[in-house]
Amino acid sequence: MKTVAAIVWLIASIACAGLPGPQFRVELKKAEDSAVMTSTHNSTVVSITSKSGIGGARLVRIGDVWPTRLTIRLHLKGLESLRMENGVIHFNTFLKSPRQVPYWKAGKNDGRPGAPDGTLEVNLQKTEEFIEIVVPGELTAENPTEIGLGWIDFFRN
């Protein structure tokens, strides 16, 4: 019996060891919006409900590094516009955009429109419940302090 108890304790200890704590916090621009985070050892999903369909959030890193895979789920009917930035680069996209989207570096052209600095792949998919965006690795690669996003649902209230 002691052996079984020791094995159960060992398995529970291994399963609980190294469980991720929060690596970042979510700050929403609107009080009526809500966010829920779900994490595993290498992945975090942020599920955001936007009551009006127009909103924004900042993901502020409080841990040492960003998760290996970061996914945003926007509970919207559609997506007219999505902007993401990390203080160094930013991009804009929408629901039916191509996977390769242009990005711009911050401070370039003193705010005047110009040629993009490159392209990055944005994986954006719609389900019946939400629009899922896998945050491109380029936004977390330099380990920025925060990532900002803003959205507009084309079926907004």
pLDDT at 114: 78
Task: Output the six-digit token pair for 140.
Answer: 């977390």
Q: What is the mean pLDDT of each run of 10 residues along the chain (157 residues)?
A: 36 42 88 94 92 96 93 95 96 92 79 80 94 96 96 83
DSSP string, 79-101: -SEEEEE-SSEEEEE-TTS-SEE
Task: Walk me through the domains of the chain, giving residue ranges and CATH numbers.
Answer: 20-152 (2.60.40)
From residue 27, give the alpha-carbon distance in Å to each of 50, 60, 122.
13, 8, 23
Model pTM greater than 0.85?
Answer: no
pLDDT value, residue 91: 95
β pairing state of 69-75 and 43-49: parallel
Q: Residue 10: what pLDDT?
A: 31
Give the DSSP H/E element, type plus range, for residue 9.
helix 2-16
What is the per-residue pLDDT for 13? Answer: 36
pLDDT at 98: 86
Of the candidates 75, 62, 135, 132, the one whose C-alpha atom is nearest the C-alpha of residue 103 is 135
What 3-state DSSP class applies to 143? coil
